[in-house]
């Protein structure tokens, strides 16, 4: 990258930072002509410049006035059209991930339903990218699905795509088991995001939806994630625990856990976690179960009390070694 490129990008970054402060500051920056120049480069011929510029334009979309400005200037439509045009561009791999991320952020900031209805090519492209042989593409698609599905409206948008989404979930389940470690972690994060339902939003319909999503992931999804949680990599271990935590307050998941041989014991067993991050992740799972209104009934009172004890002892509790055994050994 040439020196003047670096200077130019730094100027753009500063302009975007300043314009984020308030509608007035955006107005000043707009008058300077620098934003127009940034937006021109976004649609220019140089794909590497385009990839850098989309990151800055994504930052602009973090504020309400920034999004309004981008909509008024027709930038959002332009980006949508460039996603459509990407099919015939052999170099689209450079900028497509950034463009898709832009829409993912836009959807979750504004309204997933409105964005996905207005720009159907965005959803289309995300689905297509999950099938990609390029792990960069797959990773961005998986992240974006996780962002989209992080609130109820986004979940409903995905649910509306029907069997296509079931197929996509199978693909994510497959990748969570077989892909590179980095992509597996991203799949686990996306699954956690998709399956989580806040207690106050657990209607029968939504619970049926998350249950069917969970079962679409793999033929025995509980065993799949339990297998991943037994791996020696802390990030995979924590990722799998996060999935269990996401569903821990949903009655269908509690029944699955309770009926899965050895699962309740596994949850209570502190010896399976060796590092701080894993101990914290296990504690979050136990806490999510212990705080649920249905767990005493489904797990039974003795197990419920064990969960409560675990929570009150904290994440790093170590059982004192019995002294009688030591005395006998002398």
Q: What is the DSSP string of 54-122?
A: HHHHHHHTTSHHHHHHHHHTTHHHHHHHHHHHGGG-TTGGGTHHHHHHHHHHHHHHS-HHHHHHH-HHH
In the predicted model, residues of the chain with pLDDT beneath 50 are 328, 330
DSSP state of 316: T
**Contact between residue 145 and residue 168 where contact means Cβ atoms under 8 Å apart:** yes
**Per-residue pLDDT at 5:** 85
**Per-residue pLDDT at 330:** 46
**Rounded Cα–Cα distance for residues 232 and 208 (Å):** 33
Domain boundaries, the chain: 249-312
**Per-residue pLDDT at 324:** 60
CB 13: neighbour CB atoms within 10 A? Answer: 15
CB burial of 171-197 (b: ≥16 within 10 Å; e: otherwise) equals bbbebbeebeeebbbbbbbbbbbbbbb
**Per-residue pLDDT at 2:** 74
Q: For the packed helices 34-42 and 3-21, what is the interaxial angle rounded to 10 degrees?
A: 120
**Per-residue pLDDT at 157:** 96
């Amino acid at each position: 990258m040439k020196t003047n490129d670096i200077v130019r990008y730094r100027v753009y970054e500063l302009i975007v930072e300043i314009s984020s402060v308030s509608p007035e500051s955006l107005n000043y920056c707009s008058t300077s002509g620098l934003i127009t120049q940034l937006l021109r480069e976004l649609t220019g011929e140089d794909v590497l410049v385009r990839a850098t510029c989309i990151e800055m334009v994504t930052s602009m979309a973090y504020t309400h006035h920034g999004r309004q400005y981008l909509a008024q200037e027709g930038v959002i439509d332009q980006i949508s059209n460039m996603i459509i045009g990407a099919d015939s561009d052999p170099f689209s791999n450079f900028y497509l991930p950034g463009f898709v991320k832009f829409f993912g952020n836009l959807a979750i900031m504004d309204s997933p339903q409105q964005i996905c209805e207005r720009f159907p090519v965005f959803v289309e492209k995300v689905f297509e990218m999950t099938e990609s042989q390029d792990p960069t593409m797959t990773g961005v698609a998986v992240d974006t699905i996780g962002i989209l599905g992080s609130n109820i409206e986004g979940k409903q948008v995905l649910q509306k795509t029907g069997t296509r989404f079931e197929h996509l979930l199978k693909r994510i389940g497959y990748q969570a088991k077989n892909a590179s470690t980095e992509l597996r972690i991203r799949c686990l994060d996306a699954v956690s995001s998709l399956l989580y339902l806040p207690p106050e939003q657990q209607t029968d319909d939504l619970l049926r939806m998350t249950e069917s999503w969970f079962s679409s992931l793999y033929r025995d999804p509980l065993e799949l994630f339990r297998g991943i949680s037994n791996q020696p990599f802390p990030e995979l271990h924590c990722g799998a625990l996060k999935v269990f935590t996401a569903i821990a307050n949903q009655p269908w998941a509690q029944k699955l856990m309770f009926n899965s041989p050895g699962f309740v014991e596994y949850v209570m067993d502190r010896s399976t976690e060796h590092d701080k991050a894993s101990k914290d992740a296990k504690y979050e799972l136990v806490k999510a179960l212990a705080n649920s209104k249905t767990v005493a009934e489904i797990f039974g009172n003795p197990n419920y009390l064990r969960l409560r004890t675990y929570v009150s002892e904290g994440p790093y509790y170590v059982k004192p070694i019995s002294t009688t055994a030591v005395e006998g050994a002398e």
